[in-house]
Amino acid sequence: MIMSKPSGQRLQAAALPDFVLRQFDRHSSEHDHRQLYRILQTGIRESVLPAGLKLLPTRVLAQVLGIARNTVVHVYEQLALEGYVQADVGRGTFVAAAGPRLVDRARRTPGTAAPMRRVWLSQRGNRLVQEAGASQLQWGAFTPGVPEVRMFPAQVWTRLQARAWRAATPQQLSYATGPGDADLRAAVTDYLQGTRGVVCTPEQVVITSGTQQSLQLVAQLLADPGDAVWLEDPGYWGARSVFRAMGLHLEPVGVDGEGLAPTPEQLQRPPRAMFVSPSHQYPTGALMSHGRRRQLLEYAAVHGVWVIEDDYDSEFRYGARPLPALQGLDEQGRVVYLGTFSKTLFPAMRLAYLVLPPDLVDSFARALNELFREGQPLQQAVLARFLAEGHYASHIRRMRAVYGARHDALIHAIDRHFGSRLPVIGGDAGLHLVLGLPRDVDDQALAQQVLRAGVATRPLSLYHLVQPASSKGLLLGYGAVREEEIASNFALLAKAVQGLL
């Protein structure tokens, strides 16, 4: 029910100011109205602000935030119009029993009372929306997978961008036609050869607008609906969503300390493709051993399986040097290598790359143009300069030190609160670690509880395909939180966790 009355049980508004205050930034360039709307909407959609919760009176919330009361009034009105909250005359405004569904919200206009039903979506569309894995929170302590975007060298970028615009060709402003900017493909090749042991020429590189798009191309071009694909379990929700949306059959494969670990029965049924993150298994952080790499490549070569290697954040390894990419060991042309600039630079850049066996490149470039009319050639040219002039390498060096310090601060905080009572999983690389929890803990409920205190984490069980999940924990990202803010944020989290142990 979309507009049902809030339940009889009234919840107090006490949780609200804390939740809003922690996220509301008075100095943000985002308009107050937009910001408050977004925060409340997200809170309701993620059930951090539960059904029945009474919102603060507009006057009080305006005072708490130091903004105009009218702004709050308009936000409440908008949320009411969209079915997120209900005004109960004389009593206040309450979070509605169930937030509006995506499809309803998209199709409703003010004044149309009857909501559209979900039947408008295809079965796979429905499933995609129902089982969507992306969090609506993408910034703040301890959001996993988000890098420190505030330290991006914007001045350098602006200078390169101005230069690129002065020299812009009509082709760079028209529809793109090929596999991407030639200079960027060459710079990516140099970088991958020098740092990741990838064996390729620039002709094998195709620029995309993100790993998600790379995966979509892979699924479209290398598999048919119904084909089986092995997915690490636990594993990356983004791959799961794309493959499922493309109609592939998802086969969960367990992960041990050496990476993907198919059972003997699974090995009897070779899939069309397997998706792996060997350099930093997502989310457990396991590093695939050399022996396992060899076995998988041999298996793939014998059975004609595509190996999709997601190498998303291996630049950041604290201590040991990163292990070279699986692609570099592949002698049979079975590996499709996926890289991204989302972690090394910033996610909103939406630029990534595929390194393909040579005879796949033309088809991928053609499909890319056909399906997506790939854009941003000028941005690609700027990025090519950024790499060629050494800014990329120095930014990564600088960020490795920053993340290393944050990583240490988080480990220290965990140690202070829990000692060896809770295991830290995958804590020596990347931008996140997993705080392991006992199997009987409801990590999803815990993550909600922690979020109410203003700390964003992701429950490990959400990354499992096989439910009930075999492991529990919280993913803690340290990319988007300053070193000096780690202890205080972790203390908030620890309080909630301690109550469960």
Ligand X SMILES: Cc1ncc(COP(=O)(O)O)c(C=O)c1O
- Could you tell me the two tokens for 154? 């914007």
Helix (H), strand (E), coil (C) string for 224-264: CCCCEEEEEECCCHHHHHHHHHCCCEEEEEEEECCEECCCH
Neighbours of 294 (CB within 10 A): 12
462 counts as binding ligand X under rule CB under 6 A:
no
**Coil, strand or helix at 147:** coil
Out of 19, 236, 306, 403, the only residue in the binding site for ligand X (CB under 6 A) is 236
* Residue nearer to ligand X on the CB measure, 142 or 282: 282
Assess 138 for contact with ligand X (CB under 6 A): no
Provide the minimum distance between the beta carbon of 46 and ligand X in the complex, in angstroms, as a whole number: 18
Strands 205-208 and 352-355 come out as antiparallel
Three-state secondary-structure class, residue 390 = coil
Residue 488 backbone phi and psi in degrees, to 5: -65, -40
- Part of the chain binding ligand X (CB under 6 A), chosen from 119-127, 208-216, 417-425, 489-497: 208-216
Which DSSP symbol is given to 327?
A: G
Per rule CB under 6 A, is residue 191 in the interface with ligand X?
Answer: no
DSSP string, 106-142: HH--TT--SPPPGGGS-HHHHHHHHT----S--SSTB
| Smallest gap from residue 392 Cβ to ligand X (A) | 16
Nearest C-alpha neighbor of 381 from the set 190, 203, 184, 204: 184
Which residue of 43, 99, 179, 210 would you call a contact of ligand X, by CB under 6 A?
210
Binding of ligand X by 342 (CB under 6 A): yes
Applying CB under 6 A, which part among 104-112, 115-123, 204-212, 493-501 lies near ligand X? 204-212
Q: Which stretch binds ligand X (CB under 6 A): 189-197, 198-206, 339-347, 393-401?
A: 339-347
463 binds ligand X (CB under 6 A): no
* Interface with ligand X, residue 369, by CB under 6 A: no
| Residue closer to ligand X, measured from CB, 327 or 342 | 342
Question: Directed axis angle between helix 58-65 and helix 15-23, to 10°?
Answer: 40
Residues 317, 195: Cα–Cα separation, whole Å: 12
Sheet with 306-310, edge to edge strand ranges? 205-208, 352-355, 335-340, 306-310, 273-276, 228-233, 249-256, 259-260
480 binds ligand X (CB under 6 A): no
Least separation in angstroms between residue 114's CB and ligand X is 37
Among 83, 145, 234, 259, binds ligand X (CB under 6 A): 145
Q: Which stretch binds ligand X (CB under 6 A): 207-215, 300-308, 355-363, 392-400?
A: 207-215
Residue 325 and residue 330: Cα distance in Å, rounded? 10
Chain residues 277-316 in contact with ligand X, contact rule CB under 6 A: 277, 282, 310, 312
Instruction: Please state the three-class secondary structure of 2-39 as a single string.
Output: CCCCCCCCCECCCHHHHHHHHHCCCCCCCCHHHHHHHH
Q: Residue 212 interacts with ligand X (CB under 6 A)?
A: yes
Q: What kind and span of H or E run contains 42?
A: helix 32-45
347 near ligand X, judged by CB under 6 A = yes
User: CB under 6 A: which stretch of 66-74, 209-217, 254-262, 482-490 binds ligand X?
Assistant: 209-217
For the CB of residue 449, give the shortest distance to ligand X in the complex, in Å: 24
Q: Minimum distance from CB of 342 to ligand X (Å)?
A: 3
Considering the complex, what minimum distance in angstroms separates the CB of residue 24 from ligand X?
A: 25
SS3 state of residue 273: strand
What residues pair up with 473 in beta bridges, in sequence order?
A: 436
Nearer to ligand X, 86 or 344 (CB): 344
Given candidates 23, 340, 376, 449, which one binds ligand X under the rule CB under 6 A?
A: 340
Our finding on whether 330 is near ligand X (CB under 6 A) is no
Which is closer to ligand X, CB of 6 or CB of 322? 322
Residues found near ligand X in the complex (CB under 6 A) = 145, 210-212, 236, 238, 277, 282, 310, 312, 340, 342, 347, 352
